[in-house]
């Protein structure tokens, strides 16, 4: 490719953990320990944020904040979120390694990206200590990123562009328009848009669909088509440049973006 320099991936639901399942039970169980019942849908809403911010966003929903006040007294505030976060972290650490399998098609796509001479960066809502558990398992499957930026490592988390900016520095990127951000969450797409990168939303394997690979494959063809159509509409509404069902479909999109940059004359090419 003539113009693109790098692809920056999210992790859960994009590269690993089909359906982005790992944090869900940990969120539900952590709130329950404080007498607050949340649904998986509640837990999925702010997906992609740093996990403390994620908990804060869940707790500020009116129906959840009301439960907190009834069960714990007072308002749901940062101190309340920190209490839940202290319970959440070890729960998530216990299960995260069970959800480290690369999504089907990830390795061929990664190999094709490397063959084009592009660098691969990653950003995540997980903290470094959690990713330290995941990285060896992913490396054993054949993938190691050129850059990893974790939650709490920059001045702000998603949807700010901070983690993308640090990735640009790590990868020595010459122009944000030469980078493609791939993500299955709205805040992750906004992270890419805020940084001036191209964005590709994942509809089928990530947070919006919310199904494991087995659950996805168990759908009838009609059910699958309906669910995918709905997920694609949701993801497209985030404002991303492209929507695909999984990382396995990424290469034609990268080729299209590179051709578009060529057609535009790519003022940053020099």
Is 119 a residue of the active site? no
Of the residues 10, 53, 184, 241, only one is catalytic, namely: 10
Instruction: Say what angle helices 78-95 and 128-140 make with each other, to 10 degrees.
Output: 20
List, in sequence order, every residue forming a beta bridge with 122; answer none if it has no partner. Answer: 9, 148
* Catalytic-role residue among 21, 42, 51, 241: 51
Query: 């911010």: which residue's tokens?
Result: 53
From residue 131, how far is each of 43, 87, 150, 217 by CA, in Å? 20, 18, 8, 28
Task: Identify how many contiguous H helices and E strands the chain contains and give both numbers.
Answer: 12, 6
Asked if 147 and 170 count as a contact pair (C-beta separation under 8 A), the reply is: yes
10 is a catalytic site residue: yes
CA distances from 32 to 13, 58, 84, 93, 252 (A): 25, 13, 10, 18, 44
Active site residues per annotation: 10, 51
């Amino acid at each position: 490719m003539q113009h693109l320099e790098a692809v920056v991936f999210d992790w859960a639901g994009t590269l690993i953990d089909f359906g982005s399942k790992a944090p869900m039970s940990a969120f539900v169980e952590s709130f329950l320990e404080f007498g607050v019942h949340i649904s998986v849908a509640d837990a999925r809403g702010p997906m992609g944020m740093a996990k403390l911010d994620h908990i804060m966003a869940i707790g500020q929903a009116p129906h959840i904040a009301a439960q907190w006040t009834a069960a714990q007294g007072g308002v749901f505030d940062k101190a309340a979120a920190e209490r839940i976060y202290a319970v959440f972290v070890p729960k998530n650490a216990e299960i995260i390694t069970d959800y480290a399998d690369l999504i089907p098609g990830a390795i061929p796509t990664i190999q094709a990206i490397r063959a084009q001479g592009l660098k691969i960066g990653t950003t995540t809502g997980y903290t470094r200590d959690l990713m330290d558990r995941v990285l060896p398992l992913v490396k054993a499957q054949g993938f190691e990123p050129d850059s990893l930026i974790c939650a709490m490592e920059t001045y702000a988390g998603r949807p700010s562009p901070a983690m993308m900016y640090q990735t640009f520095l790590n990868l020595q990127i010459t122009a944000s328009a030469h980078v493609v951000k791939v993500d299955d969450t709205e805040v992750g797409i906004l992270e890419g848009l805020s940084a001036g990168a191209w964005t590709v939303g994942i509809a089928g394997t990530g947070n919006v669909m919310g199904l494991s690979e087995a659950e996805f494959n168990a759908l009838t063809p009609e059910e699958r088509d309906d669910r995918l159509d709905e997920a694609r509409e949701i993801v497209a509404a985030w404002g991303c440049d492209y929507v695909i069902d999984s990382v396995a479909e990424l290469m034609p999109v990268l080729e299209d973006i590179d051709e578009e940059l060529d057609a535009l004359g790519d003022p940053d090419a020099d």
